[in-house]
Amino acid sequence: MKFFQSFASKWFRLLYPWGFAIGLLVSLGYNQVSPGNAAPEPEESPHKIYFPLVLNQEKDDLVLLGIYPKSYWQPMVPDALEQEFHNVDAWSGKHLSLAGVFHSSNQYNTVSNMLPVIWDDGYTPFINLYVPASMSSILNGEQDSDIRRWAQDYLIFAQNGTRMAYVAPLQEMNYDAAVPYGSSNPEHYKQAFQRIRNIFDEVGVPPESIKWVFAPNGLSTEGWPPFESYYPGDDFVDIVSFSSYNFGFYPGIYIPWARWTTPEQTFTDYVERMRVMAPTKPVFIAQTGTSAYTAQNHYDAAAKNQWLIDAYTLLAEMPGVRGILYYNDNLPNGYDAAFYRSGVEFTGYREGVTNPAYHYVSPAELMESPLTP
């Protein structure tokens, strides 16, 4: 069942030289493809006006849409939101609420260069806070100075409690192939999670300016405890989430564990378990995506479109699900997750998000009226 291994974390290994060899095990299957029907470039969007949406806390079907853009890691260039988020908004007819990014604790400039731009343009940041170190290094305090500097920059972004973001520290801690801090000891993760929280408190980040997210991989490393064992507890977490992808089949390389998974297989069990684990917390799909390779070297654009329709229909109707962040990019290892990029579109996304459960909520409104399950 290794098909659930985090896609984004594979890219981390490309960014960190010591993990490069591992990433190549999959990257050797590189095969440039054109995953869909060509589409004309969308017209430039006019200036947007954000009409307020009052959150009714008794409403049980509101779901936020989000994506990870191509520039999810490096500082966001000035026109990145225009090129990616605005175009998806206009093309799909549904405004994205969440902007997913990955920040390393030693990349301080990403805070000041990314988060204010995202917030000011009408999107709420969802940050995977990655620490490029072992769990023991984090617990021994060796990473404290980097984490503290990152938190200090985040404090500037918070602007005296007038801005907010979702922050998921040490995402996918339960999968050792995904991150260097992966641990088979859930207590170590809980201690590290609390250590990071304490640093944010020490530098003075206002509580209203941060929503803490528990973000495991849906699938734990074989022999490791299930994600429930890692949960820090309701007192320390605002949102529970998980990552799960339909990887399908990488082109040009045989992977014994590869298979195509339906949306039900990809999400249902994990959502239900999270609801039992934390019934008072909203559930986010922290990372997801789908390939169009339904069999070895067999590309099926129609199947990918149908998967997108079925996934967004399913998740809109699942109790407790309040947010979905889709990985809207393709990478050199052949994984073709994007639904809208470089003149290629998969209209299954556009059809799936027509469900009335999907609403735009501005950053200020999310801050004033937090989501409920």
- Which pLDDT band, with edges at 50, 70 and 90, does 49 fall under? very low
| 102 pLDDT above the threshold of 70 | yes
- Whose tokens are 């799936």? That residue is 352
Residue 344 maps to a domain: no
Torsion angle of the four alpha carbons 85, 291, 350, 59, in this order, in degrees rounded to the nearest 10: -80
Rounded mean pLDDT, 110-116: 87
pLDDT value at residue 341: 85
242/232 Cα distance (integer angstroms): 14
Q: Identify the band that residue 68 occupies on the pLDDT scale cut at 50, 70 and 90.
A: very high
For the CA atoms of 329, 330, 331, 333, the dihedral, rounded to the nearest 10 degrees, stands at 140
Bigger pLDDT: 81 vs 323: 323
> Does 252 or 318 have the greater pLDDT score?
318
Question: Would residue 341 count as lying in a domain?
Answer: no
Among the ranges given (18-32, 88-102, 326-340), the one the predictor scored with the smallest mean pLDDT: 18-32
In a domain, 348, yes or no: no
How many domains does the chain contain in total?
Answer: 1
> Is residue 225 in a domain?
yes
54 domain residue, yes or no = no
Asked, for residue 119, whether it belongs to a domain, the answer is yes
Model confidence at 29, pLDDT cuts 50, 70, 90, reads very low
pTM: predicted TM-score of the whole model, two decimal places: 0.85
Q: Which residues contact 44 (CB under 8 A, 6 or more apart)?
A: 82
Q: Which of 62-76, 179-193, 241-255 has the highest mean pLDDT?
A: 179-193
CA distance 373 to 358: 15
What mean pLDDT do residues 241-251 have?
93
What CATH number corresponds to the domain at position 241?
3.20.20.80
Beta-sheet strands, E only, within 74-122 = 98-104
The model's pLDDT over 211-239, given as tens digits with 9 standing for 90+, comes to: 999 999 999 999 999 999 999 999 999 99
Q: Domain residues for 197?
A: 2-45+62-333
What is the rounded average pLDDT of the residues 239-256? Answer: 89
Looking at the domain assignment, is residue 244 inside a domain? yes
Band the pLDDT of 19: cuts 50, 70, 90.
Answer: very low
State which H helix or E strand residue 22 sits in.
Answer: helix 20-27
- 361 within a domain of the structure (yes/no): no
CB-based contact 335:291 (threshold 8 Å): yes
pLDDT at 212: 99
pLDDT at 144 over 80: yes
CA nearest 110: which of 122, 123, 127, 124?
Answer: 127
**If pLDDT is split at 50, 70 and 90, which confidence band does 32 have?**
very low
Q: Which of 35-44, 182-191, 341-350 tops mean pLDDT?
A: 182-191
pLDDT for 59 equals 46
Among the listed ranges 30-34, 243-247, 280-284, 364-368, which one has the minimum average pLDDT value?
A: 30-34
What does the pLDDT average to over 37-50? 41
For the cut 50, the answer to whether the pLDDT of residue 342 exceeds it is yes
More confident residue, 178 or 205: 205
Reported as a pLDDT band with limits 50, 70 and 90, residue 77 is low
